[in-house]
């Protein structure tokens, strides 16, 4: 059985007729051709590489059907930078060696971008926020350092600019 759906991804509308069993991650990667969202397990919810924001909340896009996202706003890693300027979290990962192979990084950044709406340097809170995303490479220490650096960057920003970072993409 198929259904006609429309999902807004990074501010752009994508329409399609999908089989009802189509996963959201497959819609993102194949219909929208946004391949920055990765699949790191057998779409079983174990790795978190497929994490995106759906109406601002971090979700594993392999655990949702595309039809469940019909009418929703989705943000993927391709939508994290704004007008060619990296998100402070991306800058912090770059500057603090928060990645090695980079396979987990899109999902890690999306999960942590939700966390930064209520930023904290508390290590336990940071580790809890990233606990849904596995990173076999880094040992996580540099990722935690990167998040703390991103919190510093956010606090140094003009409050209006900081607010814009978390506004729905169509409203920026």
* Residue 39 touching ligand FES (CB under 6 A): yes
Please identify, using beta-carbon distances, which residue of 7 and 62 lies nearer to ligand FES.
62
The two tokens of residue 49 are: 């590489």
| First-last CA distance in the chain | 37
Total chain residues near ligand FES (CB under 6 A): 23
Please identify, using beta-carbon distances, which residue of 60 and 87 lies nearer to ligand FES.
60
Nearest distance in Å: CB 110, ligand FES:
12
User: Which residues contact residue 61 at a Cβ distance below 8 angstroms, ignoring those fewer than 6 apart?
Assistant: 23, 24, 25, 28, 37, 50, 51, 52, 54, 74
Contact present, 5 and 72 (Cβ < 8 Å): no
* Residue 43 touching ligand FES (CB under 6 A): yes
- Rounded to an integer, what distance in angstroms lies between the CA atom of residue 128 and that of residue 78? 24
Contact present, 164 and 172 (Cβ < 8 Å): yes
Please identify, using beta-carbon distances, which residue of 59 and 116 lies nearer to ligand FES.
59
Nearest distance in Å: CB 132, ligand FES:
8
Quick one: which of 62, 89, 111, 130 contacts ligand FES (CB under 6 A)? 62
What interhelical angle do 141-156 and 105-115 show, nearest 10?
40
Contact present, 127 and 140 (Cβ < 8 Å): yes
Print the binding letters for residues 105-144 with ligand FES: x by CB under 6 A, - otherwise.
x-----------------------------xxxx------
Residues of the shown chain interacting with ligand FES in the complex, contacts defined by CB under 6 A: 39-41, 43, 45-50, 60, 62, 99-105, 135-138
């Amino acid at each position: 059985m198929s259904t006609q759906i429309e999902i807004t991804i990074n501010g752009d509308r994508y329409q399609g007729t999908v089989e009802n069993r189509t996963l959201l991650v497959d819609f993102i990667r194949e219909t929208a051709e946004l391949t920055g969202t990765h699949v790191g397990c057998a779409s079983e919810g174990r790795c978190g590489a497929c994490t995106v924001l759906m109406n601002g909340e971090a979700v594993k896009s392999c655990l949702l059907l595309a039809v469940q996202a019909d009418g929703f706003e989705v943000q993927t890693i391709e939508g994290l930078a704004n007008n060619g300027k990296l998100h402070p979290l991306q800058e912090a990962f770059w500057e603090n060696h928060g990645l090695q192979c980079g396979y987990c990084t899109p999902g890690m950044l999306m999960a942590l971008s939700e966390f930064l709406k209520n930023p904290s340097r508390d290590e336990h809170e940071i580790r809890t926020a990233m606990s849904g995303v596995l990173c076999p490479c880094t040992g996580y220490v540099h990722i935690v350092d990167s998040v703390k650096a991103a919190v510093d960057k956010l606090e140094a920003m003009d409050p209006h600019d900081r607010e814009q970072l978390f506004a729905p993409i169509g409203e920026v």
